[in-house]
Structures are given as C-alpha cells and as structure tokens.
Amino acid sequence: MSKRKNICGEDLTENLRRLNMERKKVFKEYQSEERYAELGVNYPLKILIADDQLINQKLMASLLNKLGFDSVVANNGREAVECFRNEKFDLIFMDIEMPVMNGIEAIEAILSSTPKDQLPYIVVYTTKFTEEDVKKYTALEVDCIIHKPANLEKVFTTLSTAIKKNYQINEI
C-alpha cells in the first residue's frame, strides 16, 4: 500500500510558495538567456504601438526591444489606422483613450477594412478596465486585453500567444 503525504496548512502554503518561486525563477532564467532577447529575431513580427502618451510609448517600445522586436508608434487612433493601411502589421498594441480618434474607433476601422484572414493580432492596452469596458473590448473581438502599465512578463506572454497564432505553431 502506497503512503500519501497529507498536504494541508503550513505544508500546502510552503509548497505553493515554493511553486511560485520556481515559476519566477524559470521566467528570470529565460530572461537572462540570449534566446529571450532573440525572440523577435526567431519570430519576427511587425508591431504597431498606438498610444498618445510618450511615457507609455517609450515603455512599450523598450519592453519590445528587450525581446528583440522593433516597433512603429502612432500618436492617436487616426495615425494607427493610416499606419496600418500603409503597412500591414502583425500585432497592434492599442490604447483606448486617445485624441483625434480613440482606440475603439480605430479598431473598428481596421476590422471593417481588412479581410478576416489578414487581421492583425490586436491587443487592447489600457487603464480602463471596468467590467463594462472589458465587455466593450470583448465585443470587438480583440485578441487580448492587458492593463497598463505593462511589464516584461505580460508583454512576453502576449507576444508568445501572437507568435503561436501568426506562425501556426504550438510552442516557442
């Protein structure tokens, strides 16, 4: 008869803490490896950042650069739509609250003017995260929603999913 260890109370808490530390350790190890910075070299994507705030543009561009990706910046929704019409992008990080044309209008313009098989991977990148807001974004059928400010792990996870979809692969 096999013995089973009862995991409860402090043992469970300790095991969960160790598991979380291991997950963070694996992510940090992956960060430090050369291949982390070469994600964009191995799986190139054309990326558009649509945001009116310079600090957010710089943060996202910096995170993408750490992962080996270049990006193009649009300062509002109208610029994003024009950029997309001039050069097809594989992925768009779209802020919602922007002057001239907001992110929702820009997403709608891109979706309505692009054949379904040529649509980019669209990421809503915003501080507006109420339940009502999320329903609006979901109704647009965007691929992903991330909360500002982004961090390297969020961006890496988002790009991994976009790469799998774009390259039609299961693992990176």
Q: Which secondary structure element, helix H or strand E, spans residue 48, and what is its range?
A: strand 47-50
Q: What is the pLDDT of residues 113-158, one digit of tens each?
A: 999 999 999 999 999 878 898 888 889 889 999 999 888 888 998 9
Overall size of the chain counted in residues: 172
Q: What is the pLDDT of residues 42-93, one digit of tens each?
A: 999 999 999 999 999 999 999 999 999 999 999 999 999 999 999 999 999 9
- The whole-angstrom separation of Cα 166 and Cα 121 is 8
Phi, psi of 73 (to 5 degrees): -115, 135
Report the pLDDT value the prediction gives residue 7, as an integer from 0 to 100.
Answer: 44
- The whole-angstrom separation of Cα 6 and Cα 151 is 37
pLDDT of 32 strictly over 60 = no
Going by DSSP bridges, is the β-strand pair 121-126/91-94 parallel, antiparallel, or unpaired? Answer: parallel
CATH for 39-167 (3.30.70.3400, 1.20.120.1200, 3.40.50.2300, 3.40.605.10): 3.40.50.2300
- The whole-angstrom separation of Cα 49 and Cα 56 is 9
